[in-house]
């Protein structure tokens, strides 16, 4: 399980760095400065959660079952939160109005909070 969690963290990190560079350079002339800031928010949360998964995959403080739950919540949360933010920030570049699916952004946020809550609960329940 640790290898899977750390590999997923690496993939999320790679994608976040690439999107951050794209946002800083490739999108600069295509979307507004306000939209760049929104895009960067998605990148920040994605990289934060890549680092979070690095910790989760590297610790012996929680069970493999908890790690699997945290991995699922985090990946789904990043997909809902960060990816929806990327599309919302670039909404003017597409014919589809991504504001129609903007409701998934807070759901993603709740999933990310839930992942941290699972970590917290397993740490405090741990004996020793």
Domain ranges of the chain: 2-123
pLDDT in tens, 44-91: 999 999 999 999 999 999 999 999 999 999 999 999 999 999 999 999
- The pLDDT confidence band at residue 128, using thresholds 50, 70 and 90, is low
Query: What is the rounded radius of gyration, in angstroms, for the C-alpha atoms of the chain?
Result: 16
Contacts of residue 86, defined as CB under 8 A and 6 or more positions apart, other chains included, come to 19, 39, 42
**Which position has the higher pLDDT, 45 or 23?**
45
pLDDT in tens, 89-118: 999 998 888 889 989 999 999 999 999 999
- Which residue, among 83, 78, 118, 120, has the nearest Cα to 101 in the 3D structure? 83
pTM over 0.75: yes
Burial of 60 (0-12, 13-18, 19+ CB in 10 A): exposed
pLDDT in tens, 4-21: 999 999 999 999 999 999
CA dist., res. 40 & res. 75, Å (int): 18
Compute, in degrees rounded to 10, the torsion defined by CA atoms 75, 116, 66, 16.
30
């Amino acid at each position: 399980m640790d290898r899977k969690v750390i590999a997923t963290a690496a993939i999320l990190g790679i994608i976040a760095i690439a999107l951050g560079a794209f946002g800083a350079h490739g999108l600069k002339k295509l979307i507004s400065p306000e939209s760049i800031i929104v895009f960067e928010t998605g990148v920040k949360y994605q990289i934060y959660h890549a680092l979070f998964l690095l910790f989760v995959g590297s610790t012996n403080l929680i069970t493999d079952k908890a790690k699997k739950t945290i991995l699922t919540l985090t990946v789904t949360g990043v997909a809902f939160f960060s990816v929806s933010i990327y599309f919302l920030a670039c909404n003017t570049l597409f014919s589809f109005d991504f504001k129609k699916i903007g409701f998934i952004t807070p759901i993603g946020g709740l999933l990310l909070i839930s992942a941290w809550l699972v970590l917290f609960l397993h740490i405090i329940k741990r004996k020793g």
